[in-house]
Each structure stands twice: as structure tokens, then as C-alpha cells.
Amino acid sequence: MAEQVASYRASVVELTRDGKVGVAARQLLSQIDTLLSESKQLADAGRLGDANKKMASAYKLTVEEITKLRAGQEVFMSLKFDTPADEYVYEQKRFGSSLTMIDMMIGEGRAEGQKRKLVDSFVTEGNRLRSLAEAEADSQHHKEAVVLMEKASGQLNKALQSMGIPVF
């Protein structure tokens, strides 16, 4: 999740130079940095659960506010990996971050009743795809594993979107 927040944070830094949203982006950057600092302090103190919650709050804030700041804009992000195995590791982390966010949103009551069944079905399918990806990676088929992990993350994105969370 820290890697994702860092990549989104870089986008916020770019937005600080924008004439229309620069002031709001600078305020957002300050909020993000505060949450990241608090998360690090908690982790350093051995309070990993609290540190993860703080990091998840930073992620949520960043995604929601970038969505608002970039409303009406087309956004492109590209990542470059040295090997398919490196990309697979990244995809695993992205999946884990999304699971953490889903747990937080469920804890906030954003998946009540029928919506919870929908969220659970997306998570179940995501986990099924992740298991298939792990088998591919274990067989050193990392390109195939990446494709499966992207599909798995797509399922979690649907779960988050069904709870009202904007996902890139």
C-alpha cells in the first residue's frame, strides 16, 4: 500500500503546479504526508495494525481526492518492471492493499445487506484467481501469473466500487 500511496503522491506533487487545483493539491499533499508520518511512527513503535490503518487512510484519502482534483481529466499511469517476476510481486502487493481497503470499508458499514453478498462474491472470485496466479508463479510462468493477478485485482476493484470507493 505504501508503494501505491507513493505513486499517487507523485501525481499530487504534479498537481501542485496546476493553476486551477495547485492550492488544493498542496493541502492534500500536507494531509498525505501527515498520515504517512503517523503511520511510520506507529510502525516504528511496533503498532503495525494501527500503522496499517493509518496507511489505508492515506490511501483512501489520496484516491478520493485525486479523483476530485482530476475530475474531467484523462489520466495515464505506466509502471515499468525489470522482469515479469517483479511485476508479479507488485501485483501481489496491489491485491493485498485492496483487500485491506475492502476490510476497512466493510468495517465502516459500507457493505450492508445485499451489498455485502456482492462484495463477498467479488472477493471470492479475486481469491480464486489469485490462487491460480500463485500456481503459475510457482511454475515460473510469471507473465501468466501477472495476467491472472490483474484479473484478481479487477475483482477487488469491483468490490471497492460497489462500496462507493473510486478506484484507478
Q: What is the pLDDT of residues 37-56, one digit of tens each?
A: 999 999 999 998 888 889 88
d(CA 28, CA 154): 27
At residue 102, the pLDDT reads 92
Q: Which residues contact 42 (CB under 8 A, 6 or more apart)?
A: 48, 50, 51, 54
Q: Domain locations in the chain?
A: 2-69, 84-162
d(CA 50, CA 48): 5
At residue 79, the pLDDT reads 79
- First-to-last CA distance in the chain? 14
pTM above 0.75, yes or no: no
Residues of the chain below pLDDT 50 = none
**CB-neighbour burial class of residue 109 (10 A; exposed 0-12, middle 13-18, buried 19+):** exposed
**Average pLDDT across the chain, whole number:** 90
One-letter amino acid identity for 65?
E
> C-alpha distances in angstroms, 105 versus 90, 91, 128?
23, 21, 21
d(CA 49, CA 31): 20
At residue 53, the pLDDT reads 87
> C-alpha distances in angstroms, 11 versus 63, 67, 94, 124, 161?
11, 11, 18, 32, 21
At residue 166, the pLDDT reads 76
